[in-house]
A and B are shown apart, each in its own frame.
Chain A
Amino acid sequence: MAGVRLPAALAVSSLVVAALLASALAPPRQQSAQPAGCAAVGKIKGWVTVSVGGESSTVEMRSFTSSFFHSLLIALFPSEANDPMYGPLGGPLDVTGLYPAWGTSGSGAPAAVTGGVRIPLTWWRIYYNESGLFLLVGGNATANSDWLTFGTKDAIELRRVASPRSYKSELTIAVDRVPLLPYSFQYVGQPAMVTYTFFFPKTVFTENFVRLLVAYLYNSAAGRVPVTATDGSSVLVDPYTPDPWSAPPGNVPVETYIVLGDGQTQYSPFAYRVQHEIARAKPGVLRKGSPVEFCTTFIALSYAFVFDRDATVTEAAVYVKLSNGKEVMLLYYVFPRPVKVKAGQPFPVAFAFFAPVTSG
């Protein structure tokens, strides 16, 4: 399983920063620097399993698309601070195609598509173990000759439901090659199933994040997913809109914050708020990919806090505000030790997560 990349030690020393600044006339040193900020990093993994006639084949996903990162960023982490890309209905726009990130009027589902065969992924489940959170999304079909013939040479695509206002009705999230077993026509007419399994390592991701991802994938009435708001109440994320052309989606993220706290706490995937908030800011987010590939393979949110007075930080989180005003904590990080931050000292905080890609 993927681990979570964390600073080796987080005993922040303002003296380190001051000393480095004071010695800035000298060439910056490459010493084993002390930590002076926060970078909470998570790595998403995925697998796709194709089962036909009782046999199955599983491959690890390695080809999430840049479009996925772009649209996920706009959908889950809209930030007015960066770029008020809002349409006439007030919904956030996906700047990669200038279409709304949320909202369809049907009850559609994401689909696995291969060889001209489309398999709606009609069910989803969330599991948790000591490693982290798992999301399973799957669907059933009947194998036909087209699938079994073309499937051996065609990739299988995971597609998300997109708004009719977009240039495409679907967004390709990942393209993978799965050896379809058993490559035989004898299974024509047999039940077939496609299951995507996503893994979210603990210490960064929360169950709320996974639930938002479900809403993102379905983006319809089928994507109405309950989450736990920071006030402890259950609130429904609702991508559905009765008319994508004239009505906003029911309840989706509209603003993003990085929140710091000084509470006595520990990480839990089911945490829904920081224990004691002491500061918040609208972060910078990767709004737009660059011409080079590696910029499109991750999402990062960051902000450099500067406190007016000395502070102690024990926890950091990413909150999103929904259309109805409720706030939901999506990412959560608890420092191994409290971090003392001096007044006037920059304290950068970054949340970043990857998913495997093979191309932009």
Chain B
Amino acid sequence: MRWRGFAAVAALALVLALASTWLPYWGAGAAVEEAPRLEGYVMVYVNGELRAVSKMRSFTGPVPAMLALALFPTSKLRNVTVEYWAGGSTDWPPPLTGRSRLNLGGGGYVDVQYVPYKDLSTSPPTFGLRLVVPFESVWGFHAGWDWGFEPGNPPQARLREGPMGPSPQTAYLYAAFNTAINGVTVAHLPPPSPAFYHNETHVLMVFPVTVAIWEPEGDVPERVYDIVLMRGTGFYKIADIRVARDVFDPPVKVYAGDVVTFVYVFAFKGRQVFTENWVKAFAAWLYNSRTFRVTATDGSTVPLGPRPFSVNYTCYCWYGTTAEDAEPATFYFGYYPSDWVTCPLTYNGKPFFAGGCQFASIDVYWVPSETYVVLGDGLATFSRTAYRVQHEIARVEPNVTFTGGKITVSAAFVFDRDATVTEAAVYTRLRHGKEVMLLYYVFPRPVKVKAGQPFTVEFSLDIPYSGGV
């Protein structure tokens, strides 16, 4: 494949800007050495035939904030408020949909609390546990609970298998058919793990989503013109958030019984900067439902992504004969993955009525919690599989900002003695302590930096977006 073809297309640009007031080889305020970028495409196959390719143009408004918070958290970037568009889900409880605002937290740790409640004003009466949460984590987990009782003797309150813990929510795909239907779901499924590929010029992340069109009988053509990529949240009531929306013009005609495969291709282009670790971290952010194996700076392989390390939970057993007189009587506390609690058959003369458990707190242990810009003076050459600078000489916590569609990771260094810089990188420290190099750049020539002179490094991620949700 001639990926040179991508070069003419500017869909999503990751621009590395290295600037310095003291760059003997490049001069003050030095310019961009090269312009690595991310380009996204949606390819449509109908019954195995490639029918259309759409360049992705429309990552939505909350994406820069969510991406920065997830992958570049700092002591000053711990939470953000975003405006988003939430999709639908068949999950219970019914999710919130539509446009709203949300306070997101980073770093992977969130305390959630529930309080028992009973509402006799409804018919039938409802009772259970009500969520009290200050903010939601940008990394997904399902802060849910299950309510009911298990058949069997004795009764058991239990953590619901599957949806609890790390959320199965993932990158959902929505598309609309015909103008009369806006946002009809054609696929509500997790895509498979992406395939990764790299060569000298780019790194690829590719995954398909396959759907079938309408009923298997009939000859009514439909038009695929609008495809939306949703990122699962794992939140209590917000199933997923729209992260990209693309249009096929003209629409792709499909017929009843057709099997349509949408292939998402994310091409991180550039002879430098993007490492395998980066594309896997990006995948972890997009999927938000599982971990991806990356190489830590010590050479070990570690998971990156949402996965609970420790979970505290509380189980309640309710006693009574009806919902009206049922009361919570016994509280149990435990730790994941133990998921069974046996309730006494009776309590204070009342029979067991129902039981349930919820998570009290979850430590998502495998996600970024700190960010550093690291400089080195090693004899290095860029490699997609590089996992550390050759010889670190300095690091600082960067200033991470996002304005409009641009994420900027910048750091100012001042050396107390003359130094030579040959390499720059962005490291993230995961909550479990391991560090992972996400971005890497080797200077074409060593840069001599005088003591006391500020030396600024800036990585910026420029995401074209409309500002909409």
Q: Give residues in A with beta carbon < 8 Å to B.
A: 5-8, 10, 14, 16-25, 27-30, 33-39, 41, 43, 79, 81-83, 85-88, 93, 95, 98, 164, 245, 281-292, 294-295, 297-298, 300-306, 308, 342-346, 348, 350, 352, 354, 356-357
Contacts and interface: CB of A to CB of B under 8 A. Distances in A.
B379 to A, nearest CB: 28
B88 interface: yes
Given A24-B53, A300-B212, A35 B48 contact: yes
14 contacts: A23-B5, A30-B52, A36-B50, A37-B261, A39-B45, A39-B47, A83-B170, A245-B152, A287-B168, A295-B187, A304-B206, A344-B199, A352-B212, A354-B212
A95 B193 CA distance: 19
A14 B5 CA distance: 13
Given A284-B191, A346-B43, A356-B217, 5 more contacts: A22-B2, A28-B51, A28-B54, A295-B211, A350-B48
Interface string B25-63: 000000000000000010111111111111100000000
A352 B8 CA distance: 36
Nearest to B202: A344
B52 A28 contact: yes
A17 B163 CA distance: 38
B390 interface: no
B115 interface: no
Contacts of A83: 162, 168, 170, 190, 289
Contact of A25 (B9, B184, B186, B257): B9
A56 B161 CA distance: 46
Contacts of B90: 288-291
Contact of B49 (A34, A79, A302): A34
Contacts of B191: 284
B323 interface: no
Contacts of A352: 210, 212, 259
A345 B184 CA distance: 30
Most buried by A among B41, B47, B207, B263: B47
A10 B48 contact: yes
Given A18-B2, A39-B261, A281 B193 contact: yes
Contacts of B214: 294
Contacts of A16: 50
Given A284-B208, A300-B210, A33 B249 contact: no
Given A14-B1, A22-B2, A36-B45, A298 B216 contact: yes
B259 A300 contact: yes
Contacts of A304: 192, 194-195, 206-208, 263
Given A41-B259, A346-B263, A348-B45, A35 B190 contact: no
Given A21-B53, A284-B207, A298-B216, A85 B162 contact: yes
B189 A288 contact: yes
A27 B53 CA distance: 9
B209 A284 contact: yes
Q: Which of A27, A294, A357 has most chain B Cβ within 10 Å?
A: A294
A292 B43 CA distance: 24
Given A16-B50, A35-B50, A30 B192 contact: no
Given A18-B5, A356-B217, A98 B162 contact: yes
B208 A350 contact: yes
Interface of B: 1-6, 8-9, 41, 43-55, 88, 90, 151-152, 160-163, 168, 170, 184-197, 199, 204, 206-217, 248-250, 252-253, 257, 259, 261, 263, 265, 289, 339-340
A28 B192 contact: no
Contact of B193 (A43, A282, A298): A282
Nearest to A79: B192
Contact of A88 (B8, B43, B45, B161): B161
B51 A30 contact: yes
B210 A21 contact: no
B49 A7 contact: yes
B134 to A, nearest CB: 29
Given A30-B250, A284-B190, A356-B216, A342 B162 contact: no
A56 B50 CA distance: 47
Contacts of B197: 306, 308, 343-344
A134 to B, nearest CB: 19
A98 B160 contact: yes
B206 A346 contact: yes
Given A85-B168, A95-B162, A294-B214, A33 B204 contact: no
A260 to B, nearest CB: 12
Contact of B50 (A34, A93, A98): A34
B212 A297 contact: yes
B2 A302 contact: no
Closest 8 CB pairs of A and B: A22-B5, A284-B192, A28-B52, A39-B48, A36-B50, A302-B210, A7-B48, A290-B188
Which of B41, B46, B263 neighbours the largest number of chain A CB atoms within 10 Å of its CB? Answer: B263
A93 B248 CA distance: 37
B248 A354 contact: no
A43 B257 CA distance: 9
B50 A354 contact: no
Contacts of B8: 22, 25
Contacts of A342: 1
Contacts of A344: 1, 3, 197, 199, 204
Contacts of B195: 281, 303-306, 346
Given A286-B189, A295-B187, A303-B195, A24 B168 contact: no
Contacts of A20: 43, 50, 52-53
B191 to A, nearest CB: 5
A24 B41 contact: yes
Contacts of A41: 47, 259
Contacts of A98: 160-163
A30 B253 contact: yes
A297 B216 contact: yes
Contact of B187 (A14, A28, A290): A290
A98 B146 CA distance: 11
Nearest to B339: A88
B274 to A, nearest CB: 15
Contacts of B51: 28, 30, 33
Contacts of B212: 294-295, 297-298, 300, 352, 354
B168 to A, nearest CB: 4
Nearest to A25: B9
Contacts of A281: 192-193, 195
B53 A287 contact: no
Nearest to A30: B250
Of B50, B160, B339, chain A has the most CB atoms within 10 Å of the CB of B50
A312 to B, nearest CB: 16
B261 A302 contact: yes
